């Protein structure tokens, strides 16, 4: 593995969607499959990935510094083939103390534990992006009751890692109201990706794109009050909070949407890249050769 640092890696936010994306990839799965080769072509293979997922939550930030991570099937009621998929990745215990020190230097608490395991918000995107399971992973669990501003600060403490070839990844969902999803799929006659998008979902996603492009972090921190239909699109915060960790890690900007799709007309699958390498990644993703790689 090699890691280029000129320019630094962007940090990333990925909407991981339903666990079914692992066996029914759709447009978002196709994007995730292109993402690894695009990062490799533009920056070199990351030497490790620090990933914060909406499904790994703790009272204070915690780094899972196991030598190896088992695949966690943290869901129920899905087809059996989904439970047979594995992504047992190498850990990054040697990296954990340095990451922890950066967090503490920012005046934030963090714990390093020997526990391991990748929830589906981690292993599903990584299984698409790096199917050879050859990049060490360091999960970063975070508190669901921290504000967007606090999580942006947590991510900002990780920003120097990008110049060291470490990819900082947030995994959640740009919109996430499962009651809406279930109501729209229970009797749907069309495929999930063929359903027209709800106006409320489109308005919320558009607001995020516009405020991100403007680097309007104050508005983004206050999304629950300022974004249209915020409470409908996110009855609770946890699936959007990884966006702020990733955005903080690429705080210098730009904040650029690099994938745009919707399932069930209301579950946004958008992905964002942050920091100096965001434009380079976007250009690589849009090259025809990337899609064919």
CA 197 – CA 180 distance, rounded (Å): 12
- How far separated are the first and last CA of the chain, in Å rounded? 18
According to DSSP, the residues that pair with 169 across neighbouring strands are 12, 51
**Which stretches within 55-164 are classed as H helix?**
80-83, 96-105, 120-129, 148-157
Contact 272, 173 (CB under 8 A): no
Supply 215's token pair: 């680097």
- Stated as kind and residue range, the H or E segment containing 235 is none
What pLDDT, on a 0 to 100 scale, did the predictor assign at position 248?
98
Sign of the Cα torsion 70, 268, 39, 162 reads negative
What pLDDT, on a 0 to 100 scale, did the predictor assign at position 133?
98
- Residue 219 DSSP label: H
Burial class (CB in 10 A: 0-12, 13-18, 19+), 78: middle
At the top level of CATH, the class of 11-292 is alpha beta
Sequence-distant (≥ 6) Cβ neighbours of residue 176 within 8 angstroms = 54, 233, 234, 239, 240, 267
**Whole-number percent of the chain with pLDDT over 70:** 93
What pLDDT, on a 0 to 100 scale, did the predictor assign at position 195?
82
What pLDDT, on a 0 to 100 scale, did the predictor assign at position 192?
62
pLDDT, mean of each 10-residue run, the chain (293 residues): 62 96 96 98 97 98 98 95 97 98 98 97 98 98 98 98 98 95 66 80 98 98 98 97 98 97 95 97 83 41
Supply 250's token pair: 């690429």
pTM (2 d.p.)? 0.94
Contact 23, 85 (CB under 8 A): yes
The dihedrals phi and psi of 185, each to the nearest 5 degrees, come to: -105, -15
Contact 218, 147 (CB under 8 A): no
């Amino acid at each position: 593995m090699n890691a280029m640092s000129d320019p630094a890696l962007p940090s990333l936010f990925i909407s991981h969607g339903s666990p079914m994306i692992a066996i029914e990839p759709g447009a978002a799965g196709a994007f995730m499959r292109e993402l690894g080769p695009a990062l490799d072509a533009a920056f070199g293979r990351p030497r490790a990935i620090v990933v914060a997922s909406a499904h790994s939550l703790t009272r204070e930030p915690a780094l899972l510094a196991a030598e190896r991570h088992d695949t966690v099937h943290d869901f129920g009621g899905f087809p059996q083939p989904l439970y047979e998929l594995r992504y047992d990745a190498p850990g990054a215990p040697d990296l954990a103390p340095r990451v922890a020190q950066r967090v503490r230097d920012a005046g934030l608490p963090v714990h390093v534990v020997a526990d391991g395991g990748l929830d589906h918000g981690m292993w599903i995107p990584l299984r698409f992006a790096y199917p050879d399971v050859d990049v060490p992973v360091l999960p970063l669990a975070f508190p669901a009751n921290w504000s967007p501003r606090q999580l942006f600060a947590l991510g900002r403490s990780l920003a120097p890692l990008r110049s060291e070839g470490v990819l900082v990844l947030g995994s959640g969902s740009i919109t996430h109201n499962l009651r809406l999803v279930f109501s729209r799929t229970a009797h749907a006659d069309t495929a999930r990706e063929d359903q027209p998008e709800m106006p409320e979902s489109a308005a919320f996603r558009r607001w995020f794109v516009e405020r991100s492009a403007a680097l309007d972090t104050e508005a983004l921190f206050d999304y629950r009050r300022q974004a249209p239909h915020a409470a409908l699109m996110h009855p609770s915060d946890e699936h959007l909070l990884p966006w702020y960790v990733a955005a903080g890690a690429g705080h210098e900007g730009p904040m650029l949407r690099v994938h745009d799709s919707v399932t069930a007309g209301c579950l946004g699958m958008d992905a964002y890249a942050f920091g100096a390498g965001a434009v380079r990644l976007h250009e690589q993703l849009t090259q025809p050769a990337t899609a064919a790689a």
